[in-house]
Amino acid sequence: MPHPATAPRHPRRRALGLLLPTLLLAACTGSPAGPRADAAPTATAPQVTGPLCAALPTGTEPGNPAFLAGQPVDQALRWIPTLTTFEAALRTSGVLTELPAGTGVTVLAPSDDAFAATFSEDNWDDLMTHHTDQLRTLLRAHLISGTHPIAELTTAGTATTLDGVTVTVTHTGPTARLGDRADTVCADYQATNARIHIINAVLGPLPATADGTGHRAH
């Protein structure tokens, strides 16, 4: 009696049988589309603090803190919209270029409003044009050697600026007080090898051209 014909194998079962070893191999080796365990973590944007910060670029806006963290300090200052007067003075004087290559610096940067409250437009233009030595002395009073977060300065209690003057630094709520003369209004910007703290008054020995009743256009 002849054997009954062998039933043909189901094509779907045969395909699954061929696919199973491949799936097991992928499970052992890990899917190439999955996240790598050793992937570098996403960098955290620098946290700036102070009452003026909300009015300055944030998020993905040009000049935001994360973007500035990768810029040289002279370029970073150009991106902060309230520092146009201070940035122009630093660029004109060349004070930053005096720092040894690779030296970190902390910048106490007066806002445009701070300069407007201290100098008239004519007096400031005269200082920029005809009194370079006085301008450089004034600017050195706003620079500290090394990169110092504002919390580090308040903990130390004092800081010595590049003009050789020691300034007291005290914590006052959300801000820091410098020399009983200025307050930080947006602190802890980072730049390449630098920290930038925006302040609301001009420090240092004011030249004769500062009449204290400035009325420069903002």
8-22, 78-92, 152-166: the lowest-pLDDT one: 8-22
Q: What are phi and psi of 144, to 5 degrees?
A: -125, 135
Q: Is the pLDDT of residue 49 over 80?
A: yes
Residue type, 37: A
Percent of the chain clearing pLDDT 70 (strictly above) = 75
Residue type, 130: H
pLDDT in tens, 148-179: 999 999 999 999 999 999 999 999 888 999 99
Architecture of domain 62-95+104-199: Roll (2.30)
Instruction: Quote the tokens at residue 169.
Output: 């630094």
pLDDT in tens, 191-201: 999 999 999 99
Q: Is the pLDDT of residue 104 over 50?
A: yes
* pTM for this prediction: 0.77
What are the CA-CA distances from residue 2 to residues 6, 7, 9, 39 (Å)? 12, 15, 21, 65
Q: Is the pLDDT of residue 28 over 80?
A: no
